[in-house]
Amino acid sequence: MEIVWESPANPPQAQDYIYRKGRRYVRPYYFEFISHAKNRWAGKTIVDLFAEEFKGRPYDYYVDAVKSGRIQVDGQTVHPSYVVQSSQKISHFLHRHEPPVLAEKITVLESEADVITVCKPASIPVHPCGQYRKNTIVGILQAEQGLAPLFPVHRLDRLVSGLLIFARNADKAESFRQQIEGGLLQKEYVAKVVGLFPEGEQVVNANVNFNAREGRSSVEIDEEFSRQPLKGKVACTKFMRISTNGKHSIVLCKPVTGRTHQIRVHLQYTGHPIGNDILYLSKDVVRRSTFGSGADRAASIYMDMPPQTPGSAANSDEFSIDPMCTNCPGLAPVGYDGDEEGLWLHCVRYTGPDWSYECPYPEWAFP
């Protein structure tokens, strides 16, 4: 089988996408993942290294991948017993299956000579990261509207929707960066939270400590008699109730700082978490390191799953099946939970010293 390898130099194309049941899928493609051996990898065999560090595939796959040259060291095919040394270049030539995203249109709000703003749908990451490359805002805008290059001025979490600002050249991007570092930007979000949120402005000053392993933040308060130093970063968010029906409230959120999951964890701290935010609806959620979530589901969970049903697999005429791929014949990676929904958190406005951009409110923010 002739393999066409893709690289970041190959821009996404409109024909790379497949639409099915409200989801946007990417046709699987071949891609070289490159990493350099960390010090803690040194002394391990190439197969043991992959089996221990990348648990999404079975041990036998890595043995076959090394033997066939799908995994190489410093550009050379090696034996499965090869012992890796620090700083060596390790390549994994992979049949890449990206997770699906919601198939909502990315609406261009304003298009200027050096700035473009869009309304980001939930579930789509802003730029290539993790398992996503083409199924990103940057990739889709390039494929469908020819918009490139784009420099993100700010980020939104993958499950968050709303205003995104892109600079269209490096100079404008640098100008925005200086304004951000100078604390000159004001940000506004809207959220749908549980319960009757109090009237009047509510200000939360509470450190936010992000646990990268668990993918979750927690709040820390400086208690008067505590001798334990705070690990989190200083964070402040201002909240104002817009409306309520008693069961849920629509709240305007103004983060003064920009910590990971700041709005989400500060709303949890007030006792009014975002109404569909599984991660913060309870202080006692299942740990991601134990169970996994979405495309990052742990191998111990999905390796025992039954084979995909015909309805979940792609028509083999739509893309080439790779006999070595552990994700074929489906479009999505094995173990991916495709039923996730976007958070009830939406960016509505960014304001700078002499500019302001905004995005319409989402449907869930209205009665």
What is the Cβ-side half-sphere exposure of residue 23, based on CA atoms within 13 angstroms?
A: 19
Q: Supply the CATH number for residue 51's domain.
A: 3.10.290.10
Residue 235 lies in a domain: yes
Assess whether 135 and 49 both reside in one domain. no
Q: Supply the CATH number for residue 139's domain.
A: 3.30.2350.10
Which pLDDT score, from 0 to 100, does residue 283 have? 65
Q: Look at residues 45, 77, 96 and tell me which one is the last residue of a structural domain.
A: 96
Which pLDDT score, from 0 to 100, does residue 27 have? 94
Q: Indicate the pLDDT class of residue 111, thresholds 50, 70 and 90.
A: very high
Residue 296 lies in a domain: no
Q: Indicate the pLDDT class of residue 229, thresholds 50, 70 and 90.
A: confident
Assess whether 216 and 361 both reside in one domain. yes
Q: Residue 157: pLDDT above 90?
A: yes
Residue 330 lies in a domain: no
> Out of 16, 60, 114, 157, which one is annotated catalytic?
157
Assess whether 23 and 141 both reside in one domain. no
Assess whether 149 and 111 both reside in one domain. yes
Assess whether 250 and 111 both reside in one domain. yes
Residue 301 lies in a domain: no
Residue 205 lies in a domain: yes
Assess whether 172 and 90 both reside in one domain. no
Q: Look at residues 96, 127, 144 and tell me which one is the last residue of a structural domain.
A: 96
Who wins on pLDDT, 194 or 232? 194
**Mean pLDDT value of segment 69-75:** 96
Assess whether 65 and 164 both reside in one domain. no
Which pLDDT score, from 0 to 100, does residue 102 have? 94
Residue 112 lies in a domain: yes
Helix (H, G, I), strand (E, B) or coil at 286: coil
CB-based burial label for 8 (10 Å; 0-12, 13-18, 19+) = exposed
| pLDDT tens per residue, range 3-18 | 777 877 788 999 999 9
Cα end-to-end span (Å), the chain: 56
Assess whether 85 and 146 both reside in one domain. no
Q: Indicate the pLDDT class of residue 358, thresholds 50, 70 and 90.
A: very high
| pLDDT tens per residue, range 278-322 | 999 976 544 433 333 333 332 222 223 333 333 344 555 567 889
Q: Which range (44-58, 109-123, 152-166, 277-291) has the least confidence?
A: 277-291
Q: Which range (77-81, 199-203, 225-229, 342-346) has the least confidence?
A: 225-229
For the chain, what percent of residues have pLDDT higher than 70? 87
Assess whether 160 and 197 both reside in one domain. yes
CB-based burial label for 203 (10 Å; 0-12, 13-18, 19+) = exposed
107 with 163: CB under 8 angstroms?
no
Assess whether 160 and 63 both reside in one domain. no
222 is a catalytic site residue: no
User: Which residues have a Cβ under 8 Å from the Cβ of 16 and sit 6 or more positions away?
Assistant: 26, 27, 29, 134, 143
Q: In the predicted model, what is the mean pLDDT of the chain?
A: 88
Domain total for the chain? 2
Residue 326 lies in a domain: no
| pLDDT tens per residue, range 29-58 | 999 999 999 999 999 999 999 999 998 899
Question: What is the span of the domain harbouring residue 67?
Answer: 5-96
| pLDDT tens per residue, range 183-207 | 999 999 999 999 999 999 999 999 9
Residue 174 lies in a domain: yes
Assess whether 141 and 219 both reside in one domain. yes
Helix (H, G, I), strand (E, B) or coil at 173: helix
Which pLDDT score, from 0 to 100, does residue 316 have? 58
Assess whether 226 and 351 both reside in one domain. yes
Q: Look at residues 96, 119, 138 and tell me which one is the last residue of a structural domain.
A: 96
CA-to-CA separations, 269 to 80, 143, 217, 246, 260, in angstroms, rounded: 50, 41, 11, 19, 15
